Amino acid sequence: MEKSFSSDSFSSFAASRHSTRDFLPTPVDDELIEQIISDGLTSPSWSNTRPIVIAVAKGDVRDRLSVEFLSRWNAIKDVRGGGILTKIKAVLRRHGLPTSNWIVTRSPPKDLMPRSKKQGKELYSYVEIDRDDKKARDGAWARNYEFFGAPVELFVFTHKSLGKFAASDAGLFMQNLILSAHSKGLGTCPQGAVAIWEDAVRKEFDIDKKYSLLCGICLGYPSNEKINSFEAHRLSPSEIMAQEK
Ligand SMILES: Cc1cc2nc3c(=O)[nH]c(=O)nc-3n(C[C@H](O)[C@H](O)[C@H](O)COP(=O)(O)O)c2cc1C
């Protein structure tokens, strides 16, 4: 069948997408949000089951969630580097402790650590945040809970029964959605940071218990802040290709 599209510019288009970490307050039209979700749904899916649910937080719901997340983050931000007393106090107080996806708060496994460290080091040095400046680093992380100023936050839930295949479906959906947004001049950033408090999201949306929160994606128009011109390191294909025996 003759193709009715041009694929010539795909590589440069895909390569030109970078995560956006500072947004203008300009609202995103509902029709546009629906269009990019619709583009997300052109992805492949496990037996075409689409085991995902998307909660679109905007307006008052978005603002309430941001306030709640910031309050929880402020309650726990000193726990990680703190002593045993700080940790015990946090457990007793409970406020802010993750209610889902604890994995987000752990360090990556040893073999993947160098890649994660490189990303953190390069991003922070790009925006002139000193590695040892905990306050500045915490401040930068807290921006996650303001959704980096984005007017829209999408929460992606996956069906629990399909395990990694539901997460795979969600990933495929998310990437089509993210590229669709990019093609329309919108910026996005997937956010594991917001996956740790599923209960807060459930308070705002009617979500079937069979689904659990995977991550968030902030969506909006990028500002001209320096952080948005950061280009994360990209691996070369050989770094992820298995060797023949
Ligand atoms: C599932 C997932 C969760 C992520 N969580 C966060 C996050 O919480 N905060 C953040 O600033 N970036 C987050 N990112 C963005 C990654 O850091 C980013 O995609 C990576 O460094 C590559 O950069 P690029 O998207 O600009 O190509 C996440 C990405 C994915 C796929």
**Domain assignments of the chain as residue spans, ordered by start:** 18-74+100-230
Residues 131-141, mean pLDDT to the nearest whole number: 93
Ligand 1 centroid to residue 244 C-alpha, Å: 31
- State whether the beta carbon of 188 lies less than 6 angstroms from ligand 1: no
Ligand 1 centroid to residue 188 C-alpha, Å: 10
Q: What Rg, from alpha-carbon coordinates, does the chain have?
A: 19
Angle among Cα 188, 189, 191 to the nearest 5 degrees reads 140
- Note the pLDDT of residue 202: 98
- Note the pLDDT of residue 50: 98
Alpha-carbon distance of 245 to 240, in angstroms, equals 15
- Note the pLDDT of residue 86: 76
Residues 209-229, mean pLDDT to the nearest whole number: 98
In tens, the pLDDT along 115-132 reads 999 999 999 999 999 989
pLDDT level of residue 11 (50, 70, 90 thresholds): very high
- Note the pLDDT of residue 83: 77
Of all protein residues, whose CA lies closest to atom 30 belonging to ligand 1?
A: 190
Ligand 1 centroid to residue 210 C-alpha, Å: 26
Q: Count Cβ atoms below 10 Å from residue 156 Cβ, excluding itself.
A: 24
Query: Which of 191, 213, 215, 225 to mutate for ligand 1's pocket (most ligand atoms within 8 Å of CB)?
Result: 191
Residue 79 has pLDDT above 80, yes or no: no
Of all protein residues, whose CA lies closest to atom 20 belonging to ligand 1?
A: 232
Largest CA distance in the chain: 68
- State whether the beta carbon of 191 lies less than 6 angstroms from ligand 1: yes
Q: pTM (2 decimals)?
A: 0.95
Ligand 1 centroid to residue 227 C-alpha, Å: 13
- Note the pLDDT of residue 139: 95
In tens, the pLDDT along 140-172 reads 999 999 999 999 999 999 999 999 999 999 999
In CATH terms, the fold of domain 18-74+100-230 is NADH Oxidase (3.40.109)
pLDDT level of residue 95 (50, 70, 90 thresholds): confident
Lateral strand order in the sheet of 52-58: 52-58, 152-159, 211-220, 187-191
pLDDT level of residue 3 (50, 70, 90 thresholds): confident
Instruction: From the CA of 148, give the closest atom in ligand 1.
Output: 11
- State whether the beta carbon of 19 lies less than 6 angstroms from ligand 1: yes
- State whether the beta carbon of 178 lies less than 6 angstroms from ligand 1: no
- Note the pLDDT of residue 94: 79
- State whether the beta carbon of 14 lies less than 6 angstroms from ligand 1: no
**Among 191, 98, 89, residue whose Cα is nearest residue 142:** 191
- Note the pLDDT of residue 4: 76
